[in-house]
Amino acid sequence: MAGHSAGTEIERLIQLLSRLPGLGPRSARRAALQLLGKKETLMRPLADALQDAADHVLTCTTCGNLDTTDPCSICADGRRDKGVICVVEQVADLWALERAGANSGQYHVLGGTLSALDGVGPDDLNISGLVTRVSGSDVREVVLALNATVDGQATAHYITDQLEGSGANVSQVAHGVPVGGELDYLDDGTLAAAMKARRPF
């Protein structure tokens, strides 16, 4: 709340801004003031961009990516390898891999991980969609790019079981020392995983 001095329009704006991740009540007030000081160059363009994106952005029914077309531009891109599907938890992970140029194949967004604690079961994730995509297709490899957390790994095991007999090989991204990382600053789990997965030099 900005206090009773600000109009309800401002209070409502601050209240909505404070629901964005990374913005608390104080930074939402700062953001609102910045926006009100740049009505034509920032505030109205942002309002339009929000409206446009809300109107035009769809979830790809094939892979779960967000795009303005369905199928999305990745699924529709004939130059990408149809034989490889990279499985990620969230659209943000897909974007990260695309920024890195790390995958020239397709994607499949699960929408989360299995989690006993949070009550997330297989039916809450887009796993059956993955099995359907893979079975009876010419997909030869499913690359699991899930987070290296307990829930991520449990999900990886579950998916591997489900894809048994589908004809596709299931692989997983390597876990180890991050590029540029210093051993001294890494946690024990990462070091143990990196040592266990050592390769000929």
Contacts with a copy of itself, residue ranges (CB under 8 A): 1-10, 12-13, 16-17, 19-23, 27, 29-36, 39, 42-54, 56-57, 65-69, 72-74, 90-92, 94-95, 98-99
C-beta of 49 vs 192, nearer to a copy of itself: 49
- Cβ neighbors of 140 (< 8 A, separation 6 or more) are 83, 84, 167, 168, 169
C-beta of 17 vs 125, nearer to a copy of itself: 17
Least separation, in Å, of the C-beta of 89 and a copy of itself?
Answer: 12
For residue 73, the 8-state DSSP code is: T
What is the rounded distance in angstroms from the CA atom of residue 43 to the CA atom of residue 9? 14
Instruction: Identify the CA nearest to 141 among candidates 89, 100, 82, 94.
Output: 82
Length of the chain: 201
Least separation, in Å, of the C-beta of 39 and a copy of itself?
Answer: 5
Label each residue of 91-114 as H, E or C: HHHHHHHHHHCCCCEEEEECCCCC
Least separation, in Å, of the C-beta of 155 and a copy of itself?
Answer: 19
C-beta of 62 vs 135, nearer to a copy of itself: 62
Least separation, in Å, of the C-beta of 84 and a copy of itself?
Answer: 15
Say if CB 20 and CB 6 are below 8 A apart. Answer: no
C-beta of 21 vs 119, nearer to a copy of itself: 21
